[in-house]
Amino acid sequence: MSKAKTAITPTRAENYAEWYQQVIVGADLAENSPVRGCMIIRPWGYALWENMQRALDDMIKATGHQNAYFPLFIPLSFLQKEAAHVEGFAKECAVVTHHRLEAGPDGKLVPSGELEEPLIVRPTSETIIGDAFARWVQSYRDLPLLINQWANIVRWEMRTRLFLRTTEFLWQEGHTAHATREEAVAETMRMLDVYATFAEDWMAVPVIKGEKTEGERFPGADSTFTIEAMMQDRKALQAGTSHFLGQNFARASNIQFLDRNGGHQHAWTTSWGVTTRLIGALLMTHSDDDGFVLPSKLAPQHVVIVPIFRSDDEKPRVLDYCRKLAAELRAQRYADAPVRVLVDEREERGGEKVWSWVRKGVPLRLEIGPRDIDKDSVFAARRDRAPKDKQSVARGEFVATVGATLQSIQEGLFARAKAYREEHTRKIDSKDEFYAFFRSEREEEGKPTPIHGGFALAHFGGDVALEQKIKDELGVTVRCIPLEEGEPGLCPFTGKRSARRVVWAKAY
């Protein structure tokens, strides 16, 4: 049987990692830059990021946080204030050592003006923000202090992949200080909930909320919480983290306040962040062998209209109809905003245009030619269906239902992703079954990027060493200890009692 032609080569089954790259190329989302590990986010990818930012920023503000901006550079001495923290980031720091360039002996420009203290390009901002908090917080009346920053971050990565792991990435980082442990813990969980809501309601990516084990904790945190999503290769992707920092950073930065009884106390702090990595998560959750698939709520364009005409005679009539239709659609609303519509008037063949929008993942595509106009109808395709599954719909009906159609795509993507995760999640109670779950499919595939078992829900009564051993043998780790209530049981590795099952998976 001949293979169906797809817009992306290779397909997911043929080579998942390469498919991922090709979806990004095909959708013009991003590309590698001449600077090692730093990406260029192209307009289509950046418009998506702006929509994500806007939605999440609204949620962050609605929970009482204010945005601010702190320096890009962290003095080396600041990073060293918290021992575990500097330990965690020392190996991946971009270090500024000079503040000018000067012609060397051979006339070539070389760094000059050495700094007394090296500056680190921020890998995260706990220490520099903590220093400001120490000045801003004097009394219990100054608490809680709820700050968020949208910024670029640099962590020197040796092996990089667009969006998933880049030397420079974009993110938001929340930093808060509280008078009590309870309030800080509540904040940590509140922002985890915000992330989970954003992932599920906006990105249509189902997530599991849980706590990280000791080995996967943020350097310097008392506890780290995560939302974990299953990608289509059944690996887990950590989509956002919220850290309860205890009083560790408050002590390191001396964030103290006068309490209601006149005593001095260290504040309790949190931090939480999501990054441009979310675009990778979105891509690997919904996209198919024809390219990117966008959830309606975040799509830079909801509807793209491609005018189809065979001659210059037909052109004005077709363009005129398309522009009027676009105006009608823009008067409709979806998700509390006007529907976003583009008429693609580029000088290119209609078929090429249509496929470019398939690869870019636009939720609804319309092809409009003279015959559609004669019938006052549109030739419509949904990106969540096969590219050739197109239907002729009366114009008025299409316009009136466009919001509902977009919502049906949004919900359909979420339902499909959730069903996929459930299909590939298994409760496992024996060590043999556990090893078979993660091993069998690795061997039987023999592909460049084998698809492994999925999520294993198993009890665990082991320690960091045992987790490391399992990681060495199978390449899987505890992704999180789910927050959801679970039944107690016995650990299949140690036989010890365990309060609940944890999620095991291979991870990005």
Interaction site with a copy of itself (CB under 8 A): 31, 33-35, 38-43, 46-47, 49-50, 66-76, 78, 80, 86, 90-102, 109-111, 113, 118-121, 128, 131-132, 141, 147, 151-152, 154, 156, 168, 170, 346-348
Contact 503, 208 (CB under 8 A): yes
Q: How far apart are CA 338 and CA 274, in angstroms?
A: 27
Find the shortest distance in angstroms from Cβ 176 to a copy of itself.
13
Q: How far, in Å, are 80, 469, 497 from residue 466 at the CA level? A: 30, 5, 15
If the CB atoms of residues 65 and 234 are measured against a copy of itself, the closer one turns out to be 65
Q: How far apart are CA 495 and CA 497, in angstroms?
A: 7
3-state secondary structure of 182: helix
CA distance 202 to 11: 26
Cα-Cα-Cα-Cα dihedral sign, residues 81, 83, 85, 90: positive
109 versus 386: smaller Cβ distance to a copy of itself? 109
Cα-Cα-Cα-Cα dihedral sign, residues 166, 167, 168, 172: positive
> Pairing state of beta strands 425-427 and 390-394?
unpaired
The burial of 140, by beta-carbon neighbours within 10 Å (0-12 exposed, 13-18 middle, 19 or more buried), is given as middle
- Residues 198 and 280: their CA atoms lie apart, in Å, by 15
* Cβ 158 to a copy of itself shortest distance, Å: 9
> Considering beta carbons, is residue 7 or 72 the nearer one to a copy of itself?
72
Number of neighbours of residue 344 by Cβ within 10 angstroms: 19
The rounded Cα 338 to chain-centroid distance in angstroms is 25
Three-state SS for 1? Answer: coil
- Least distance CB 10 / a copy of itself (angstroms): 23
Shortest distance, position 234 Cβ to a copy of itself, whole Å: 31
Cα(123)–Cα(154) distance, rounded to whole angstroms? Answer: 5
Interacting residues of 445 by C-beta distance below 8 A, sequence separation 6+:
451
Tokens of 105: 């002996």
Q: How near is the Cβ of 127 to a copy of itself at its closest, in Å?
A: 10
Residue closer to a copy of itself, measured from CB, 118 or 489? 118
User: Which residue, 70 or 435, has its beta carbon nearer to a copy of itself?
Assistant: 70
- DSSP-assigned letter for residue 2: P
Q: Rounded to whole angstroms, how far apart are CA atoms 178 and 169? A: 29
**101 or 404: CB nearest a copy of itself:** 101
CB of residue 67 vs a copy of itself: minimum separation in angstroms? 5
CB 409 to a copy of itself: min, Å: 24
Q: Which C-beta is closer to a copy of itself: that of 41 or that of 322?
A: 41
Least distance from C-beta 188 to a copy of itself, angstroms? 21
28 vs 429, beta carbon nearer a copy of itself? 28
**Please, what is the minimum distance in Å from the beta carbon of residue 304 to a copy of itself?**
15
Closer residue to a copy of itself in complex, CB, 121/406: 121
What CA–CA distance (Å, rounded) separates 472 from 469?
5
